[in-house]
Amino acid sequence: MIISSWNINSIRIRTKNIEEYIDKIDPDILMFQEIKCEDDKFPYDFFENKKYNCYVFGQKSYNGVAILSKKKLLKIDKSFKDPNKQSRLISADIKISNKLVKLICIYLPNGNPVNTDKYPYKIKWLNNFFDFIKKEINNYDGIIIGGDFNIIPNSNDVENPEDWENDALYRLEIRKEFRKILNLGFKDSFRIFNNEDKQYTFWDYTQGSWQRNKGLRIDHFLISDKILTKIKNVEIDKFTRGLDRPSDHAPIRVIF
């Protein structure tokens, strides 16, 4: 089974790229962030033609998340308490090798600039999220958290980490919050299979970042220790970043 997560930076203008992705990868489940539309503007027809069921938690202009699945999903949950009432988390129950797994799609706040209320919003969001996960752990055989975390976990996940020490994506306080979640019993699953530097999932549209491979690794799959043995591989699908009118993020994909 293949589960992909992709910050799509507007789902309506990206359907051509998504079609290429589906034709090539054929994921069973697709999780999107930054769909940037309200529920009733979501391109349901496009995905239903591709045989996906759509579970959408949209918002006008900004944010918005969705889970698309070839199999029907149960227990769709949009009840996460977002401190600013934004649409950043949707989850559903799935089965992996007969184990009950909670699949969570997140779009974590960016948090910049750090001297504005955006930064405390990110901290508050992370605190609420920690509580949300902690409460669910005992209800499931495993939990999968996929999405755009807006967190650079380690110094080898960015070109010049010293330039990022006061940035909301890399501040020590933020990396500690990330590790706090890991300490609940999760792994940064990509790093189980790939320890190389410069394994980025995001490249800024400006400054020729893609051409010079100056990116960030900020999209992740955190997966419960209890189901790690079920994972065959985790990969970043960089090719999408080279397509026409690309999202600035590439998908991350876990294979069970």
Partner DNA sequence: ATGGCTGAGCTACTCAGA
Q: Which residues bind DNA (CB under 7 A)?
A: 7, 9-10, 12-13, 34, 36-38, 41, 60-63, 109-110, 112-115, 118, 148, 150, 169, 202, 204-207, 216, 218, 245, 248-249
Residue 208 CB, shortest distance to DNA, in Å, is 8
Residue 69 CB, shortest distance to DNA, in Å, is 23
Angle at 201 between CA 199 and CA 207, to 5 degrees: 95
Residue 132 CB, shortest distance to DNA, in Å, is 20
Residue 141 CB, shortest distance to DNA, in Å, is 31
Residue type, position 27, single letter = P
Type and span of the H or E element at 17 = helix 15-25
Q: Which is nearer to DNA, 133 or 174 (CB)?
A: 174
Residue 89 CB, shortest distance to DNA, in Å, is 14
Residue 227 CB, shortest distance to DNA, in Å, is 28
| 3 state SS of 93 | strand
Q: Which is nearer to DNA, 16 or 134 (CB)?
A: 16
Spell out a b/e string for 145-180, using b for 16 or more CB atoms within 10 Å of the CB, else e.
Answer: bbbbbbbbbeeebbbeeeebeebbbbbeebbebbee
Q: Which is nearer to DNA, 115 or 229 (CB)?
A: 115
Residue 94 CB neighbour total at 10 angstroms = 23
Q: Which is nearer to DNA, 94 or 218 (CB)?
A: 218
Q: Which is nearer to DNA, 138 or 165 (CB)?
A: 165
Q: What is the Cα–Cα distance from 73 to 92, expressed in whole angstroms?
A: 6
Residue 241 CB neighbour total at 10 angstroms = 21
Q: Which is nearer to DNA, 112 or 154 (CB)?
A: 112
Q: Beta strand 142-148 with 99-107: parallel, antiparallel or unpaired? A: parallel
Q: What is the Cα–Cα distance from 151 to 105, expressed in whole angstroms?
A: 15
